[in-house]
């Protein structure tokens, strides 16, 4: 339900520290042309209200700790580009001394009750990744990305929407070049801490969380939404989620399943009912590079009372030296960056890959009418028992220490990879490509690209440089506030990777249980999980991996446009799926009455065929994925043989 929202007031929150700070030039990670117009918009729904004056004071204090959130984007003088060549494609800096610097704080009201509003239910509404105007739900302040780059829009807009039942929604609208998912969580966590430290105002009757109305707890909101859903009880396979009012969930179990419904893991009900959900962390840049994190080891570190470390300074992600000859695809292969080479693109190679990408797009449009113009999101909830079984199956294909290192993240990433390959008709990881649909390229001048286009695909996987690059730990603190994420591309393994299992399942120890329509997907799962684990391990163990990555990204931004065209075309052909993780501890965002009843995020534009791992409670054991795909593919997802075989008790938001 999209509630009607009326704006009551707006204020620019300023801070006295801003005027004395030098400008901040964008880092190579920020300066990607595709990332510049991408928005990152988290939102929180509470069963209690927040006080506007306290929020104003907390925002002012936050501005002192993170001055960059109050800046304005300006053009970099041409003479400065020589010393910062990556700004050639995106010549911008953040001016902290602008006359109109500050954070926009808006107060609004909704006639609807918070219990009837689903922040995440709106994500199922079809949207476009090609539209020039981003449509956001009414609890967000709109932000014009083009005007932002002209210095006409603030970097951060906060909107507090009071609901009729005493609850509220707090939503932030920001450009992705300012924050990644780690930093947006850090920002909201610190804002909540500062709010709790601010004295309550007894005169704020209209926005008081105690005097205006009785707080609505998360449990009461869930009860108001209707009975909890387990995803299996309804005769037609459809039920409603108490976590998202009015949103239906579909069981992936087939009618031919031999396991009684009563044996379905009870964790599925809790997984669907939980309201800690967020959108993907990656926008259009996910096709070529920037992304969110794979792992989050613990809650974001509190900044404390002062900002002595200045962990928001963007120079921390500037390359230490010029890119060298290691940029060649062969040298970048151990880093899983060989699809992002900054080497000059020859005309034949560029045209060949461009032609292959066009043919790939035409084929995709025929298979899924509407393509990028009509995308949708679907929430897949995998209960604890299925998660445990999935990890065990993925690890069974490895021996010794390799089997012990396969993580839940590896298994879930492999599942996404298989599911999207199946939907798109692409070769499965570990399969013989001759047995599946080929990716044809052009003939003639683009022959080399055509041959490569028919080769194996790849999984795009986001990594957080703070956690995955040991060589950057001195210059990049764990609490770095900014955009510090990039995308690796894990090459699809060949048939040798699954030689221990036959594709008809005859030699698999799970053949009887996991043969679906004549195909056993367990070997593909094991090959994909091993490839993911191998790719991440290789990246982390490569000496100076972080420094090399930064140099590569800087060289890409400084390269001729033909390099960008070649890389984008190559990725459009080769990448099967993309996965990122926003599994951050949303429970830590506490404004004084406990964690939010619902946590969501809208990232636009967003490309298709990507999955985001969403927040869950540590004791829950379930995995929640937000899958973005063409709207015309949503029905096929419900019938996915991969999901029905490997996670039979999962439920899908429809």
Q: Give the lowest-confidence range in 225-234, 239-248, 399-408, 535-544.
A: 225-234
pLDDT tens for each residue of 450-496: 444 445 799 999 999 998 998 888 888 888 999 999 999 999 998 76
In this structure, which topology does domain 5-197 adopt according to CATH? Chloramphenicol Acetyltransferase (3.30.559)
Residue pair 87/73 in contact by the 8 Å Cβ criterion: no
What pLDDT is attached to residue 97? Answer: 86
Q: Mean pLDDT throughout 595-610?
A: 86
Same fold, 5-197 and 334-377+384-580: yes
What pLDDT is attached to residue 195? Answer: 97
What pLDDT is attached to residue 492? Answer: 93
Structural tokens at position 524: 């593909």
Mean pLDDT score of the chain, rounded to an integer? 77
Helix/strand/coil percent split, the chain, to 5: 40, 20, 45
Question: If you write DSSP's letter for every residue of 361-422 in order, what string do you get?
Answer: HHHHHHHSTTGGGSEEEEEEEE-HHHHHHHHHHHHTTS-THHHHH--HHHHHHHHHHHHHHH
Global pTM reads 0.80
Residue 438 predicted with pLDDT over 50: no
Which run of H or E residues covers position 78? helix 78-81
Q: Which segments within 150-283 are labelled E, that is strand?
A: 157-162, 168-175, 238-240, 248-251
Going by the DSSP 8-state scheme, the letter that residue 595 receives in this structure is B
Confidence of residue 252 (pLDDT cuts 50, 70, 90): confident
Residue 349 predicted with pLDDT over 90: no
What pLDDT is attached to residue 372? Answer: 64
What pLDDT is attached to residue 223? Answer: 35
In this structure, which topology does domain 334-377+384-580 adopt according to CATH? Chloramphenicol Acetyltransferase (3.30.559)
Q: What are phi and psi of 604, to 5 degrees?
A: -135, 140
Specify the higher pLDDT residue, 385 or 361: 385
pLDDT tens for each residue of 286-309: 323 323 333 333 444 444 434 446
Specify the higher pLDDT residue, 254 or 624: 624
Handedness of CA 298, 626, 654, 418 (dihedral sign): negative
What pLDDT is attached to residue 260? Answer: 34
Instruction: Delimit the domains of the chain by residue range.
Output: 5-197, 228-271, 334-377+384-580
């Amino acid at each position: 339900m999209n509630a009607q929202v009326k704006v009551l007031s707006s204020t620019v929150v300023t801070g006295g520290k801003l005027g004395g700070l030098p400008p901040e030039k964008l880092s190579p990670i920020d300066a990607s042309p595709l990332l510049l117009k991408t928005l990152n918009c988290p939102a929180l729904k509470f069963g209690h209200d927040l006080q506007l004056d306290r929020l104003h004071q907390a925002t002012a204090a936050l501005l002192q700790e993170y001055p960059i959130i109050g800046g304005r984007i300006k053009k970099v003088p041409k003479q400065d580009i020589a010393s910062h060549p990556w700004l050639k494609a995106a010549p911008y800096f953040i001016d902290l001394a602008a006359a109109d610097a500050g954070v926009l704080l808006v107060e609004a009201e909704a006639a609807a009750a918070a219990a009837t509003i689903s922040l995440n239910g709106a994500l199922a509404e079809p949207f476009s990744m090609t539209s020039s105007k981003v449509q956001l739900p009414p609890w967000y302040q709109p932000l014009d990305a083009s005007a932002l780059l002209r210095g006409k829009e603030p970097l951060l807009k906060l909107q507090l929407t009071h609901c009729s039942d005493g609850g509220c929604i707090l939503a932030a609208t920001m450009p992705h070049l300012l924050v990644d998912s780690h930093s947006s969580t850090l920002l909201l966590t610190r804002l909540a801490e500062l709010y709790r430290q601010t004295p309550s105002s007894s005169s704020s009757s209209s926005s008081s969380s105690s005097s205006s109305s009785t707080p609505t707890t998360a449990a009461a909101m869930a009860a108001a939404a209707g009975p909890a859903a387990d995803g299996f009880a309804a005769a037609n396979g459809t039920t409603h989620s108490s976590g998202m009012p009015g949103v239906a969930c579909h069981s992936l179990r087939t009618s031919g399943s031999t396991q009684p419904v009563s044996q379905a893991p009870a964790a599925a009900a809790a997984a669907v009912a939980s309201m800690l959900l967020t959108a993907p962390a990656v926008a259009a840049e996910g096709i070529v590079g920037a992304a969110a994190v794979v792992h989050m080891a613990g809650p974001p570190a509190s900044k404390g009372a002062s900002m002595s470390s200045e962990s928001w300074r963007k120079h921390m992600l500037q390359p230490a030296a010029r890119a060298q000859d290691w940029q060649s695809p062969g040298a970048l292969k151990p880093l899983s960056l060989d699809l992002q080479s900054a080497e000059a693109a020859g005309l034949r190679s560029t045209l060949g890959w461009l032609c292959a990408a066009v043919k790939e797009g035409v084929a995709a449009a025929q298979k899924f009418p509407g393509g990028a113009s009509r995308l949708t999101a679907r929430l897949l909830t995998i209960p604890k028992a299925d998660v445990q079984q999935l990890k065990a199956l993925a690890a069974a294909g490895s021996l010794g220490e390799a089997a012990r290192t396969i993580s839940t993240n590896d298994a879930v990433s492999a599942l996404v990879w298989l599911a999207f390959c199946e939907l798109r008709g692409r070769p499965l990881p570990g399969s013989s490509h001759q047995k599946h649909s080929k990716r044809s390229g052009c003939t003639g001048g683009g022959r080399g690209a055509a041959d490569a286009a028919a080769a194996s695909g790849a999984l795009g996987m986001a990594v957080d440089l703070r956690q995955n690059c040991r060589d950057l730990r001195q210059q990049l603190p764990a609490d770095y506030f900014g955009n510090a994420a990039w995308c690796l591309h894990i090459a699809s393994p060949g048939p040798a990777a699954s030689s221990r299992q036959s594709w008809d399942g005859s030699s698999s120890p799970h053949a009887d249980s996991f043969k679906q329509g004549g195909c056993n997907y367990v070997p593909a799962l094991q090959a994909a999980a091993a490839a993911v684990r191998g790719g991440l391990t290789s990246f982390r163990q490569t000496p100076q991996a972080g420094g090399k990555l930064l140099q590569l990204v800087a060289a890409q931004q400084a390269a001729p446009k033909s390099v960008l065209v070649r890389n984008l075309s190559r990725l459009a052909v080769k990448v099967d799926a993309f996965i990122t993780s926003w599994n951050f501890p949303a429970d830590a965002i506490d404004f004084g009455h406990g964690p939010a009843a619902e946590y969501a995020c809208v990232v636009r534009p967003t490309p298709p065929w990507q999955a985001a791992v969403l927040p869950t409670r540590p004791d829950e054991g379930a995995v929640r994925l937000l899958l973005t795909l063409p709207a015309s593919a949503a029905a096929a997802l419900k019938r996915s043989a991969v999901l029905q075989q490997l996670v039979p008790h999962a439920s899908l938001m429809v």
